[in-house]
Amino acid sequence: MAELGEPQPARAVFQTRADPDGLPVVAVSGDLDMSNAPALERVVAAAIAERPKRLVFDLGSLRFMDSAGIAVLLGATSKVDAVRLRNPSPAVRRVIELTGLTDILTIET
């Protein structure tokens, strides 16, 4: 039966809070991949439901992200004016560079 089961979802924690200026910040920690990207998608949808001007992803504790995670970040770009990534690790930054998204997903340092 083992070979029939879904792979264990990656462990990740999503947390939405507000910046001092009232704009939403979605903190993503752990590993983000195809298995839990849809969950993040729902979190993001809730965070931008009130059409904020800007959305910040706090990636300080995100260890790993794959193309499914990229897709979630990109999905947000079509709904808010600006998407910013805060403190991405070198590994995450590398994925963003490889996919040519440095102009679209602004990296805060």
Partner 1 sequence: VHQQATASADPLEPQPIAADREGPASPEASGDAAAPLRQTRRARWRWRPSRAALLALVVGLGVTAALTLTSLAVYNRNERRLLNLRVRELNLVLAASAPSIQTPLASASELARATDGNPAKFRAFMVPFVGAGRQFTSVSLWPLGLAHTAPTAVVGTAPVLATLPEGSRRFLALSQHAGVLNVTGLLNIAHPSLGFEFSAPGSSRGYAVYSESPLPANRRSKLESNSAFSDLDYALYLGRSQRRSNLLLTSARSLPFHGRHAADVVRFGAGTLTLVVAPKGSLGGTFFADLPWIIAIVGALVALAAAALTDRLAWRRQRAEQLAVELDSVAAQNRSMYVEQRSISETLQHALLPDTLPELRGLSVSARYVPAPTGGEVGGDWYDVIALDDTSVLLVIGDVSGHGLQAATTMALVRHAALAYVAEDHEPATVLSKLATFVNSSSHDYFATVLCALVEVDAHRLTLASAGHMPPLLLDEGRGVFVECPAGPPIGVPWSSQHRQSSIEVPPNATVVAFTDGLVERRGEVLDVGLARLRDLASRQQLAIEDLLAKLAGELTSEDHHDDTALVGIQWQS
Binding residues for partner 1, per CB under 8 A? 1, 3-7, 10, 31, 33-35, 63-64, 66-68, 70-71, 74-75, 77-78, 90-91, 94-95, 97-101, 103-104
> Residue 38 belongs to what H/E stretch?
helix 37-47
- 33/86 with CB nearer partner 1: 33
| Least distance CB 4 / partner 1 (angstroms) | 6
- 21/103 with CB nearer partner 1: 103
Neighbours of 56 (CB within 10 A): 21
